[in-house]
Structure 1
Amino acid sequence: MIDPKKIEEIAKQISQSMPQGVKNIAETVENKTKQVLQNKLSQMDFVSREEFDIQTQVLIRTREKLTALEEKVTQLEALLSENK
């Protein structure tokens, strides 16, 4: 496997050897691409990683509470059936 640092170094050397006009076009294309991607992504219904992690923790706690409540219901049902 090629070292990522080596690839970055090669890309940097290629970039430095390019004529200024090509660099300007590349920068313009990169900036326009970023703008389009940001606009399209902002139109989509995504959540941040932080929000996703928070909701994951909420779900875990909710499942734990549900499991505990199911156990209590089972115990109460067993108690009721014994008292009949």
Structure 2
Amino acid sequence: MIDPKILEDFGAKMSALLANSPARDIEKNSKALLSGLLAKLDVVTREEFDVQASVLARTREKLKDLEARVEALEKARQG
């Protein structure tokens, strides 16, 4: 029967080997490259977009209300 300690040691060594493998470096470098490219494209996160969309919607509502008030004041001034 195989000793569980041997299996644990083998698993630990495999984990360490995979953590230090070139694949891990490639993944890390790819993420850094992609982040750099996205930064150059000047894109925003979905969260930032949603916040700005909400601000724009509120601003449009305020503008609509102000336009109605101006129109009412102009009518009152003329009448």
Instruction: State whether structure 2 residue 70 is matched by structure 1 residue 70.
Output: no
The two structures have a TM-score, normalised by structure 2, of 0.59
The two structures have a TM-score, normalised by structure 1, of 0.56
Shift of 1:42: 2.2
Shift of 1:48: 1.0
Match of 2:42 in 1: 45
**Structure with max Cα Rg:** 2
Distance 1:62 1:35 in 2: 37
Matched residue type, 1:38: S
Matched residue type, 2:72: Q
- How many matched pairs? 58
Q: Which runs of 4+ in 1 moved over 4 A?
A: none
Match of 1:4 in 2: none
Distance 1:33 1:51 in 2: 24
Match of 1:57 in 2: 54
Please provide the CA RMSD for this pair: 2.2
